[in-house]
């Protein structure tokens, strides 16, 4: 069983309230190495509705909607971190 499947199973039976967030970089010829380094990573937060751990990692970030966090790794950053819901693999 994969780590992500285990987290989702535990959420469904209410053992934990963790949120899963996936980093998505725009991958083109302008993508910087810092953004590519995070592309595809999944972050686990203790509270699925308040991702305080994301602010710890990306202090200039902003929550633009309940399911979208802009990390603002650098000026003009085009990346987003999106909530990953049960059953989603990518």
Total count of domains within the chain: 1
How high is the pLDDT of residue 86?
Answer: 60
Q: How much is the pTM?
A: 0.75
How high is the pLDDT of residue 47?
Answer: 75
Q: Do residues 38 and 79 make contact, with C-beta atoms less than 8 angstroms apart?
A: yes
Tell me the pLDDT band of 87, cut-offs 50, 70 and 90.
Answer: low
How high is the pLDDT of residue 15?
Answer: 46
* 89 located within any domain: no
All residues at 6 or more sequence positions from 34 whose CB lies less than 8 Å from its CB, including other chains = 73, 74
* 61 located within any domain: yes
Rounded CA separation 44/52 (Å): 10
Phi-psi region of 14 (alpha: psi -120 to 50; beta: other; left: phi over 0): left
Range of the domain at 36: 3-84
Report pLDDT digits (tens) over 27-71: 999 999 999 999 999 988 887 777 888 988 999 999 999 889 999
Tokens encoding 82: 């999106």
User: Considering the chain, what is the average pLDDT of its residues?
Assistant: 83
Tokens encoding 37: 């380094």
* 90 located within any domain: no
């Amino acid at each position: 069983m994969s780590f992500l499947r285990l987290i989702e199973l535990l959420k469904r039976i209410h053992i934990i309230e963790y949120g899963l967030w996936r980093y998505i970089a725009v991958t083109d010829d302008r993508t910087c190495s810092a953004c590519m380094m995070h592309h595809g990573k999944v972050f686990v937060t203790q509270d699925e509705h308040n991702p305080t751990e994301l602010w710890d990692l990306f202090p200039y970030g902003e929550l633009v909607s309940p399911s979208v966090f802009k990390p603002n790794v650098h000026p003009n950053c085009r990346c987003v971190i999106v909530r990953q819901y049960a059953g989603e693999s990518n």
